[in-house]
Structure 1
Amino acid sequence: MVADSDTSTRHTHTDPVSAFGIGSVALTGPRTVAAEQQLSSRFADHRGRIDLPALAVLFDHIGGLPFYSYGPSGSPCVQARLAMSMQGHIDVSDRVTGTAELLMHDHGFGSTRIEIATSTGHVCSAGTARNVAVGRSAATNPTRDDRGATAPAIGVDSVPLPPAIDPGLPGRAVVEQIAEGVRAAGPITELLNGRVEVVDHAHGVGIRFTARTEPWMGNVFGTMHGGVIAAIVAQACSFAGHANAAAGRDYQVGDLAISFLRSPAVHGGEVVVDVEPVKIGRRIASVEATMRAHDGMLLSRCAADIQYR
């Protein structure tokens, strides 16, 4: 029987913000924005853990709002690059708060600092976004007054967590079981319509992660939201981290820097993330990832470090 965490209760989503339980978005100062994310088991990985992929949409979303609201151009913007770091454990049912501050801007570019804290005040993620104003029209283009509106907080239903992993299994065996369909891929992989394959490389174990796009993954331009791109790539890197882990070894996606080169359409096509090991060490595994469209077009590049404990 194929392992599955809860496909029977799959929700129909309308956009990345609601899909990831994000709400209470508000302008909090002359250059600052805040928002909350209600976590749940729907965003857990194959280990039943909340890791960096679960926070990527919140990070990207608030990373662009200060520049969009206060930048001089008043035009829609995208992120050219995100740099995220993670630290410490996050409870599956925690409610985290993200804050973003526009550090600098000119007529075309901005730089925003982002922090995400748990309900106890512990900063669990921090980093920066590089903002770029774009001239293309948005499908939804709110006015400046609308950008200051506060969205209602969003609740998220829970699903059963994946079965516990036998600590005697090496990481490669765990990921191979997921690839073969005999172990649950985890709720966040199901949310992202992902499937995983194990690929051997000279410096370690690599991963190919394929995700099928859906309209809810789109941004205001009708192409994939940068936070969803980052979540897909980060989950691929997470699987690579586990595939190179010794039996019983815990890990976390510690750092991720992703450049957005193009944004894919979200009409049911597939995107493919190839993760290659750069150096697999005892405490840190460094990997590189590329996302391509189904026709081979390069969409993003990423470098990530996986921390082993």
Structure 2
Amino acid sequence: MTTEELSALSGLELMRWVQTEQPADFPSLRRLLGMRFDEVEHGRSVVSVDTQPDFANTLGTVHGGIAATLLDTAMGCAVHTTLAAGVGYTTLELKVNYVRAAGTDGRILSAEGTVIHCGRRTATAEGRVVDERGKLIAHATTTCLILPATG
């Protein structure tokens, strides 16, 4: 799909394209971390990743930046699903609370992002990261700046 064709998609349509059709070799943070888009719907997204030794901090557990990245992605993409074609967003603020460490041994971490409010200029969302047993790893809130369509 061309850049022009992608820019004509609504936020929800674009996120569904990312979920189902984006080429696996498309340069992205998603490819780098092995992130999957498990669920995409209006105002909600779920992303997951299999932990790996490269995610380790100096203590040998998953670095907090991995959980923050999952949260920023899930919440931002949830916001994106509510936007019209050509309208973008950027994270203004991200507040993460870490609850427990996660191992780097291939366990699945899943982040769910849900929109709380989406206005003309800003949007807010909340998110949670859980491990494959449903144990809470981290939770967060975000504020996003809505970027109007250009052109």
Give the TM-score normalised by the residue count of structure 2: 0.87
Percent identity, please.
22
Amino acid across the alignment from 2:103: A
Shift of 1:243: 1.4
Shift of 1:186: 5.0
CA root-mean-square deviation: 1.8
C-alpha change, 1:250 and 1:288, in structure 2 (3 Å) is same
Residue equivalent to 1:190: 31
Residue equivalent to 2:12: 172
1:210 counterpart SS class:
strand
Residue equivalent to 2:44: 206
Is the 1:269–1:294 contact (alpha carbons within 8 Å) kept by the matching residues of 2? yes
Amino acid across the alignment from 1:238: G
Residue equivalent to 1:231: 69
Choose between structure 1 and 2: higher helix proportion: 2
Shift of 1:183: 1.9
| Deviations 1:215-266 (CA, angstroms, capped at 9, x unpaired) | 0101122111112221221122222222121100121111100011111101
Q: Which has the higher contact order (CA 8 A, sep 6+)?
A: 2
Structure 2 residue 101 is matched with structure 1 residue 260: no
Shift of 1:305: 1.2
Give the TM-score normalised by the residue count of structure 1: 0.44
Residue equivalent to 2:82: 244
Please, which runs of 5 or more residues in structure 1 have no aligned partner? 4-162
After TM superposition, list the pairs within 5 Å mapping 1:249-288 onto structure 2.
249-288=87-126
Within 2, Cα distance between the matches of 1:255 and 1:186?
Answer: 25
Q: Which runs of 4+ in 1 moved over 4 A?
A: none
The count of corresponding residues between Structure 1 and Structure 2 is: 144
2:57 counterpart SS class:
coil
| Deviations 1:62-98 (CA, angstroms, capped at 9, x unpaired) | xxxxxxxxxxxxxxxxxxxxxxxxxxxxxxxxxxxxx
Is the 2:12–2:81 contact (alpha carbons within 8 Å) kept by the matching residues of 1? yes
Within 1, Cα distance between the matches of 2:139 and 2:70?
Answer: 12
Structure 2 residue 134 is matched with structure 1 residue 296: yes
In the alignment, which of 138, 143, 147 is matched to residue 305 of structure 1? 143
C-alpha change, 1:297 and 1:285, in structure 2 (3 Å) is same
2:78 counterpart SS class:
helix
C-alpha change, 1:170 and 1:186, in structure 2 (3 Å) is farther
Amino acid across the alignment from 2:15: V
Within 2, Cα distance between the matches of 1:224 and 1:289?
Answer: 18
Larger Rg: 1
2:125 counterpart SS class:
strand
2:7 counterpart SS class:
coil
Please, which runs of 5 or more residues in structure 2 have no aligned partner? none
